[in-house]
Amino acid sequence: MLTLLNLLKDGQFHSGQALGATLGISRSAVWKQLQHLEAELGLSIHKVRGRGYQLASPLALLDPLKIEESLAGWSVSVFSSIDSTNAESLRAVERGQMAPFLVLAERQISGRGRRGRKWVSPFAENLYYSLVLRIDGGMRQLEGLSLVVGLAVMQTLRALGVAGAGLKWPNDVLVGRKKIAGILLELVGDPADVCHVVLGIGVNVNMQTSDEVDQQWTSIRLESGKPCDRNSLAVELSKQLQLDLQRHQSGGFSALQAEWEASHLWQGQPVSLTAGVTQIDGVVLGVDNQGALRLKVDGVERVFSGGELSLRLRDDS
């Protein structure tokens, strides 16, 4: 099916006879494969008698060789469809694949965000990205790491013209109140000795409509008014990550703390922090040098960290 998709990706009409001849199959077999493409990948294919078949819009697919040749020392794998790039990354670690390596996908069947939430992942529209790093001892290398990743994503989006991109503690990148990207970090191994961390990043790139997303969202295309080359995005994001991760490794999160706070959209705002059934109201003071949230609660500064916390603006319905 991927060979057929590559023949159709230009968005032009192709006759069933020509497609069959190229693939070495019958016209009826071509028709069956087209039905699978529509059903499995959610693609819309126009069928016009006398002209043939045409994708409703052209596709620009991810190119692992193009991405890999722009990066130093990272192997790159691209999957057409997978449960999630993070899940595949963890399996690769178990198989003994050497880090650092990058896993990308055109579509995720079971993409997920923080706290078990579903991450909507339509085919060939967005960026589903997982970078695997090996961490050799030193808990300091993990302090504030998710915030560093969010900062790199935001910097990349701003460089691509999404000027309003900003941060929301701990793992979201927003434009105003609309989510444009999210981060999910997963750890395997012993953080006190040798472990691997998966930096999972989802960016809404060219998505323009979705009935599945249960919160306000936007995309690079909606913000810029034009399609975004996902190969270029993957390269630029990777390069920014390399820079920020090096800064983090050298100086800890404190080296990026002020920069992160300057881009925190909710700095100084009244918020509600939820941990299980407990809700804490306060005002955001910033983050500490380990990336924990600093809140002013009833006149007293308190510090919060943990993967199961949810932060909302006080007037956010």
Distance CA 264, CA 287 (A): 10
Q: Which residues are annotated as a binding site for biotin?
A: 84-86, 108, 112-114, 179
Q: Which of 27, 134, 158, 312 is catalytic?
A: 312
Q: Which residues are annotated as a binding site?
A: 84-86, 108, 112-114, 179
Sign of the dihedral defined by the CA atoms of residues 207, 211, 215, 216, in that order: positive
| Mean pLDDT computed over 50-79 | 89
| Mean pLDDT computed over 279-301 | 95
Q: Determine whether 302 is an active site residue.
A: no
Question: What is the pLDDT at residue 309?
Answer: 86
Q: Determine whether 114 is an active site residue.
A: yes
Question: What is the pLDDT at residue 42?
Answer: 77
pLDDT in tens, 162-195: 999 999 999 999 999 999 999 999 999 888 888 9
Distance CA 153, CA 96 (A): 28
Q: What is the DSSP string of 162-231?
A: -TTEEEETTTEEEETTEEEEEEEEEEEE-TTSEEEEEEEEEE--S----SS--S-B--HHHHHSS---HH
> What is the rounded radius of gyration, in angstroms, for the C-alpha atoms of the chain?
22
Q: Which of 107, 114, 168, 230 is catalytic?
A: 114
Q: Determine whether 296 is an active site residue.
A: no
| Mean pLDDT computed over 225-251 | 95
Q: Sketch out the chain's domains with CATH numbers.
A: 2-55 (1.10.10.10), 64-261 (3.30.930.10), 266-313 (2.30.30.100)
Which phi and psi (to 5°) does residue 194 adopt? -125, 130
Which phi and psi (to 5°) does residue 284 adopt? -70, 120
Strand 101-105's sheet: what is its strand order?
Answer: 75-79, 101-105, 127-136, 194-203, 178-189, 172-175, 165-168
Q: What single letter denotes the amino acid at residue 284?
A: V
Distance CA 84, CA 316 (A): 30
CA 102 to chain centre: 12
